[in-house]
Amino acid sequence: MIDQLLSVSTRNALSNLTETVAPGAAPAATGQSSFGNVLSQLAGSVSNKLEGAEAVSMKSMTSDVPTRDVVNAVMDAEQSLQTAIAIRDKIVQAYLEISRMPI
């Protein structure tokens, strides 16, 4: 039950992170990634790691998966999520600083 709630909360956090990327942003020059694309790739990577860790956890309940593999997958996913949250917080902090600047 708690795992299902955690999964929902992490998915909500990821969807909030991907919402910060402007969907209609103009693409950057050829050969360069735009800021929105980088954030989108980050969110996709974190989402894939979370889904993988959840799959390994579920597989460990039904088959013989070593505990070490489960712990490694969950810790890797948690580290990725914490990184994504830290980046989101820095982006929000930068936005707030810019919005407070006098014109």
Distance CA 14, CA 50 (A): 10
Instruction: Convert the pLDDT of each residue in 55-85 to its tens digit.
Output: 999 999 988 889 899 999 999 999 999 999 9
- Is the CB of residue 42 less than 8 Å from the CB of residue 18? no
| pTM, 2 dp | 0.62
Burial of 98 (0-12, 13-18, 19+ CB in 10 A): exposed
pLDDT exceeds cutoff 80 at 88: yes
How many Cα atoms occupy the beta-carbon half-sphere of 34 within 13 Å? 13
Whole-number CA gyration radius for the chain: 17
pLDDT exceeds cutoff 80 at 24: no
Two structure tokens written together for 92 = 């929000």
